[in-house]
Structure 1
Amino acid sequence: MHWVKWDRVLAPKSNGGLGVGSMFSFNISMIFCWRWRFYHHPDLIWVRVVKTIYGSNGGCVDLKPLRAGSGPWISLIRMLVQLRDRGLDLHSLTPIRVGNGAATSFCMMFGKEMFLLRLLFIGYFSLDSYKQVFVRDRVSLGWGEENYRRFPRGEIEQSQWDQFMLLMQSVHLNSSPDRLGRLFDASDIFSVASIRALIDNKFLYVDGMETRWNNWVPIKLNVFIWSLFLS
């Protein structure tokens, strides 16, 4: 028998570990819940304060590094930036699922792709007078001439206009509320356990062989057999 790396002990049993779980992933998962609350409870006082200071999206979309200042929300943004720099972009993995469009800004509807869409449809966004409103309000306003500074001029603007109008035809609102989804799970429902498992799978030991566990024998014996097989 030999010593075992602590990361392997913490790793899920499905990855060859003991399934102890790391406090690092648990802490991040609990902190990330504040982003979930920020989006699903827009009428809370602290949410209004955050939006006043950091903008309607709370600074969670562009994820710019913050070098100065301190506070709970700044710590959350810094955490998201650090995870993104380490190869795990939680923001892009938990996109907004638009339902009735009452809680999602028109500019946030496309999530991380908004910047790319602005470059692709820069002609359209320069003409739209109501791109900062909620999706529900923007759709109800319609696409008439009164909602734009002017109609497109020239071949390039007209081409971008036609492409964007074609894209918006795929947007259909329903009666369900807007929510955060998750791309890394088939259920597409946000949970602390799912975020924690995602982080553990990313940063902890991963082995092709699943740890076998027998509930009929003492835990110490299971651990002994596990470490014995590692030898």
Structure 2
Amino acid sequence: MESLRRNFFNGSQCNKRKITWIKWTMTLASKKNGELGISSLYALNRALLFKWVWRFISRDNSLWCRLILSMHGSKLPSSSPFRYSTWLSIIREIHSLKDRGVDLVSHCRIHVGNGLRTNFWKEVWIGDNPLCVLFPRIFALETNKDSSVAVKLSSVTSSLRRPVRGGSESSQLSLLQEYIEGTILSSLEDSGFGILKMRKVSFEFKDV
């Protein structure tokens, strides 16, 4: 479809090709940059694919979401027990965008309710980055790296493999405790990812 549109704008008909006066990538560029601002079907398709991923991680409780959860689990899969998996193909496209500098999932943050379904260390539920990235020395001491928010809020140090020593470890522990201080859990389930402010990304769409 992208190729047909390109030929249409270039004035090509059947087997007759005309001179291309402007690159197709420039045709797709926005009017703010002095180009035509023709929407890219490639970009639109990737946006629609990510909408399915967003629905999955937001746990919208739809029949589709419950089916994917029962078949593939609660995490974004890197492999599938099924030979042909449409869901895994969608995830691969999202990872492909990440490799090209467009990490959409990193701009999502969980709205914590009771904290039972949210990973304390690896998921973005407070601030703009996972706690394992902000406090790597404490995360290295963690024996249960899949602890939920509900479990860790009761005692941050309960599952560490040894007591925290002085220096950077002690400093990071104090900062971590201060960072999560004031977090209040509720009786609601964790759900509803919010979209964080996204930085402007330069992305070149290749012709299909």
Q: Could you list the runs of 5+ residues in structure 1 that have no partner in the other structure?
A: 186-197, 206-231
C-alpha deviations, 1:148-179, integer Å up to 9, x for none? 35785252697254443223226456899642
Shift in CA distance, 202/115, structure 1 to aligned 2, threshold 3 Å: same
CA-CA distance at 1:4 after TM superposition: 1.1
The structure whose residues are more often helix, as a share, is 1
Alignment-derived partner of residue 4 in structure 1: 22
**Aligned-partner residue type, residue 95 of structure 1:** C
Q: Percent identical across equivalent pairs?
A: 22
Task: Decide whether the 8 Å contact of 1:100 with 1:177 is kept in 2.
Answer: yes
Task: Give the root-mean-square deviation of aligned CA atoms.
Answer: 4.1
* C-alpha separation in 1, matches of 2:147 and 2:63: 21
1:49-128 equivalences in 2 (<5 Å): 49-59=67-77, 69-92=83-106, 94-100=107-113, 104-110=118-124, 113=130, 115-116=132-133, 119-122=136-139, 124-126=141-143
* C-alpha separation in 1, matches of 2:71 and 2:173: 33
Q: Work out which structure has the larger RCO, using CA pairs closer than 8 Å and 6 or more positions apart in sequence.
A: 1
Shift in CA distance, 154/70, structure 1 to aligned 2, threshold 3 Å: same
* C-alpha separation in 2, matches of 1:51 and 1:76: 15
Alignment-derived partner of residue 12 in structure 2: none
C-alpha deviations, 1:91-131, integer Å up to 9, x for none? 22x22143535564434433763553574313552268xx5
* C-alpha separation in 2, matches of 1:184 and 1:82: 18
Task: Decide whether the 8 Å contact of 2:79 with 2:88 is kept in 1.
Answer: no
Q: Could you list the runs of 5+ residues in structure 2 that have no partner in the other structure?
A: 1-18
Alignment-derived partner of residue 39 in structure 2: 21
